[in-house]
Amino acid sequence: MTSSIDPISVPCFLLAAGRGERMRPLTDVLPKPLLSIKNKSLLAWHLEALSRSGIQKIVINHAWLGQKIEDALGNGSQFGLTITYSPEVSALETAGGIRKALPKLAPDDYFLAINGDVFSPNFPIQDLVGKISQLRKNPSPILAHLIMVPNPPQHPEGDFYLKESKLSNASMSGAEKLTFSGIGLYHRDLFQDLEINIPTKLAPLLREAMAKNRVTGEKYTGPWHDVGTPQRLTELNAAYE
């Protein structure tokens, strides 16, 4: 896919502020996104992929044991990136974390956001960033473009309905109900009315935007894993040995 979008102009937000309760006791001493697959942290997997894609500006939020994330990753130079941090005294949820970090992200309009605790080693970041050109053609800005995946065993009911490129919270004839991957493009306007430092969930914002036909999506069938429990982490390390 040929893109007219320069990845350098697109910032990326990595969400790394969660407590990781289901990952205890591993997360009692380490933030969840620093847990490792093949001796490489989940965040390092993301950062290496982002660097290969041409994206250079990264903002990472953190709360629980956040200093360990900064100590591990530094300013990003080891990855050829520029990393800044958006510390949260207590986790602000996804939308709240994004709202706080927006001044540091400073996107022209769209930015990429990826959950720090998902593992998708071959995800085509460049192709996703290339979709920004298409999103910009809409008279009313598309507020989010989400990567959807087949429902995993731990989340069989899925999240949203996808038909062609339209995403809906309500059932549509011929639509497939899929799970949100934690990877997406967002327009800054989706978060502009939120108060700063107020915990705010992402899903209600998305549902409101879906009701106005301002959310699109696509299905991704490559490797993707929600690294949610110690057992899943062990299984992934064995599978990728």
Tens of pLDDT, residue by residue over 147-184, are 999 999 989 999 999 999 999 999 999 999 999 999 99
Give the chain's mean pLDDT: 94
Q: State how many domains the chain has.
A: 1
**Residue 175 structural domain:** 7-239
Instruction: Kindly state whether residue 138 falls inside one of the protein's structural domains.
Output: yes
225 belongs to a structural domain: yes
Q: Is residue 220 part of a domain?
A: yes
The answer to the question of residue 53 being in a domain is: yes
Encode pLDDT of 187-230 as tens digits.
Answer: 999 999 999 999 999 999 999 999 999 999 999 999 999 998 89
Q: Is the peptide bond before 153 cis (omega within 30 degrees of 0)?
A: no
Q: Is residue 2 domain-resident?
A: no
CB 190 within 8 A of CB 143: yes
The 8-class DSSP code of residue 198 comes to S
CATH of the domain at 184: 3.90.550.10
Angle 123-125-131 from CA coordinates, rounded to 5°: 125
**pLDDT, tens only, 90-108:** 889 999 999 999 999 999 9
How confident is the model at residue 38, as a pLDDT? 93
User: Quick check: is 1 in a domain?
Assistant: no
